[in-house]
Amino acid sequence: MTSSPALTPAVLVLEDGTRYAGRAYGAVGTTIGEVVFATGMSGYQETITDPSYAGQIVLQTAPHIGNTGMNDEDPESDRIWVAGYIVRDPSRVVSNWRANASLDDVLVQDGIVGISGIDTRAVTRHIRSAGSMRGGIFSGDAAALDDAEQLRLVHEAPEMSGQNLSAQVSVDVATITTAIGERIGNLAVLDLGVKQATIDNLAARGFEVHVLPQRSTIDDIRAIDPVAVFYSNGPGDPSASDDHVAILRAVLDEGLPFFGICFGNQLLGRALGLGTYKLPFGHRGINQPVLDKTTGKVEITAHNHGFAVDAPLEGTFDSPNGYGKVEVSHIGLNDNVVEGLRALEIPAFSVQYHPEAAAGPHDANYLFDRFAELVISTQKGAK
């Protein structure tokens, strides 16, 4: 892969045969993944470095991307995770005092094949109608491949359903972030694609954050003598993560407080005995309205998920796996998707969205306080 001259041809090919011709952006070559759209008007650096986007070609619905460049403070991980990148009008000039590189340069550096100059609004409307689907970006010599050959390559790629991608994004060895302020205790974070802002928020609440590889066992978790367990966001299909569900059930059986976000919410749902399903085109962006049923407030929240938990929205229900009464705590107001779960008889809750929201908004940041309070109250009750 090499850097793309401004007029290098590129084409986006969707699995239903729809094609969009444009120009190469970032690295030149071929990439294939699930094509999804993100509706945030800002925060593109946080988006592309979010491990939850592994395996996905991300389309930005905002037309102008790259204006503020890239910096060393805002990444959510140490690399770009998107499989490919689609923008309409990329900025070729960087204008921000913190920037030390252009988005284009970093895409080239990390080998991320992208496309620009296409009607991203038309692609978004097509995905909203037909649903997220596999697609490929072909640029440079690959753009000249026969149409049928390009489509064949797209069809050969695996669908997102059934994929377990945690091993691709998790740390290889455990890391520790020291607690800030009054220390609550050791927190076991199972890294399924955790973001740096999440770790920072947990440490700021007094947790000594132990980020553990996704292959960790319940004995590995017990070994750090945790006061609680946290499951992070991450890519893939929750129905393909039975091992993580089994570990979580052991955590719940031991009465350890639990908090999960995004993928962690889906895995809590499955641990409680609920099902999960794939959304038609998912929720991705930093402008999603969610109702907190506990307070009655509507929060604007950051999302990145293509799967959801299947649970009754009103009232309480019994956990099919014997964990007592459960309720849906948060509801997405765009489409009534389950956005949070709360167990009423064990110390466990989760949300489907991202309360750390490093790029904003910060409406849901209180959830980290709620988790710390849950852990402290559980500790007091045990004495």
Q: Answer whether 207's CB lies under 8 Å from 251's CB.
A: no
pLDDT on residue 4: 42
Per-residue confidence (pLDDT) for residue 325, from 0 to 100: 98
pLDDT of residue 360: 73
DSSP per position, 2-59: -BPPTT-EEEEEETTS-EEEEEEEEB-SEEEEEEEEE--SS-HHHHHT-GGGBTEEEE
Question: Mean pLDDT across the stretch 267-288?
Answer: 95
Closest CA to 257 of 157, 187, 206: 187
Residues with Cβ within 8 Å of 193's Cβ and at least 6 positions away in sequence, in order, are 50, 51, 52, 54, 165, 166, 169, 170, 232, 233, 234, 235, 263
Active-site choice (262, 299, 305, 339):
262
- Give per-residue pLDDT as tens, 55-95: 999 999 999 999 999 999 888 898 999 999 999 999 989 99
Q: Is 76 one of the catalytic residues?
A: no
In the block, which residue shows the tokens 């991203």?
A: 120
Residue 339 annotated among the catalytic residues of the structure: no
pLDDT tens digits, residue range 221-243? Answer: 999 999 999 999 999 999 999 99
Q: What is the pLDDT confidence band of residue 3, given thresholds at 50, 70 and 90?
A: very low
Contact 233, 304 (CB under 8 A): yes
pLDDT at 120 over 70: yes
- Based on the residue annotation, tell me whether 354 is a catalytic residue of this protein: yes
pLDDT (tens digit per residue) in 288-323: 999 999 899 999 999 999 999 999 999 999 999 999
Evaluate whether 132 touches 16 at the Cβ level (below 8 Å): no
